Amino acid sequence: MNVRRAAHWVVNLPYFDFFIMVVISLSSIALAAEDPVEEDSVRNQILNYFDYAFTGVFTIEMILKIVDLGIILHPGSYLREFWNIMDAVVVVCAAVSFAFDMTGSSAGQNLSTIKSLRVLRVLRPLKTIKRVPKLKAVFDCVVNSLKNVINILIVYILFQFIFAVIAVQLFNGKFFYCTDESKTTAEDCKGQFFVFDGDNQLPSAETREWKQQSFHYDNVMAAMLTLFAVQTGEGWPQVLQNSMAATYEDEGPLQNFRIEMSIFYVVYFVVFPFFFVNIFVALIIITFQEQGEAELQDGEIDKNQKSCIDFTIQARPLERYMPNKRNSFKYKIWRIVVSTPFEYFIMILIVLNTLLLMMKVSTQHI
C-alpha cells in the first residue's frame, strides 16, 4: 500500500505531466534529427543513447501508473484506456528492440526484423493528445465522424467511377505519342531519327518508339488513378494538356486539338476538390458541434442560453461616424457616399473596369 501511495503521489505531482510533455517533445525532435541515409553515423549513435533515456523515462511512467491504477482487472485501471494501451505497446516494442540490440548475440542478429518495431516510436508524439484537452476533443471528433464518413466515401467512389467511365469514352487509346515529334502516327513511328543536343557535337541516332503517357484513360482502373492524381493538384496541368492535345486512336498529340475537353476537368474540379472536400470538412464541424451540445446536456444551461451569454459578452456598441452640422457641405457629401445608389454606381464602375481589362489583346505576331 505504501508503494501504491508513493506512486499515486508521484503521478499526481503538478509538474509530472509537464515533465513528460518535455520528454515527448525532445523525443520527437530526436526522431526528426535522425540520419535516414547512414544508419551508423555518429549523429545516430548519439541519438540512440538519448533514445535509451527517453524509453527509460516512458517505462518508469508506465510502471508508476500501473502501480497507481492497477493493470486491467477493475474499472479505471491502466489498460482500460485506449491511450494507455498505445503507450504500453510503444514502450514494450521499444524495450524489446533495445534488448536485442544490447545482447549482440546471434539470436539477436537472426531476429533483426524485430528492430523494425522501433518504427512505432513515431507514435510517441500522440501521447500529447491525452494531456491537452482541446487536442483530445478534436481527435475524438475525427474518430466519431468516421461512421458518417463511410457513407460519404461510398458516394465519392461512385462519382469517381462515373467520371472514370466518361474519361475512358473520351480519351481511350488517345494518350500515345512518338519519341520523334515529327511523326504523328503509329505506322510512321518506326526506324531511327537524329537527336541534336544543342552543341557542336555530332547528333546521335535513336530508335523511334510509340509510347503511352504515364497517366492515361485506357481502362477504368487507370482512369480512376489518373483522376485521383488530378484531384491532388500535382501534375494535373500536364494531364489537361495531354487531354486537349488528344486526337484519334493510333495517332499522336496535336496541341490544343480539342480545347473543349478542358470543360471535363472544370466540372471534375467543381465536384471533387471543391464539393466533396467541403462535405468532409462540414461533417467534422457538425460532429464537433454535436459533441459540444452533448456536453451541455449535463450542464445547468442549454445551447440557446449559452449562445445568449456568449453574444452578450462579445457584444460591442455600433459606431457610425458622421459630420455634426447637417447644413455643412461635408454632411451633404457624406449623405451621397453612404447612399445605396452611390454603392451601385461604384459596383458598375468596377464591372466596367474589369471588362475593359478583359478586352486588351496582344497584336504582336510571332
Which cell numbers in the block locate residue 297? 446536456
Domains of the chain: 2-130 (1.20.120.350), 132-175+213-312 (1.10.287.70), 177-212 (no CATH)
3-state helix vs strand vs coil in the chain, percent to 5: 65, 5, 30
State phi, psi for 27 to the nearest 5 degrees: -65, -40
State phi, psi for 195 to the nearest 5 degrees: -120, 125
Residue of 158, 155, 164 whose CA lies nearest to 224:
164
- Is residue 176 within 8 A of residue 186, CB to CB? The reply is yes
308 membership: H or E segment, kind and range: helix 303-314
Strand locations in 116-270, DSSP E?
176-178, 192-195, 204-207, 210-212
pLDDT attached to residue 310: 78
Length of the chain: 366
CA–CA gap between residue 232 and residue 214 (Å, rounded) = 16
pLDDT attached to residue 110: 46
* Residue-by-residue pLDDT tens, the chain, 366 positions: 578 888 888 888 888 888 888 888 888 888 888 877 777 788 888 888 888 888 888 888 888 888 888 888 778 788 888 888 888 888 888 877 777 766 655 444 445 555 566 677 777 777 777 777 778 777 877 777 777 788 888 888 999 999 999 999 998 888 888 888 888 888 888 887 777 776 666 777 778 888 888 888 989 999 999 999 898 888 888 889 989 988 888 788 888 888 888 899 999 988 888 888 888 888 888 877 777 666 666 666 666 777 787 778 887 777 767 777 888 888 888 888 888 999 999 999 999 999 999 888 776 555
- Is residue 228 within 8 A of residue 235, CB to CB? The reply is no
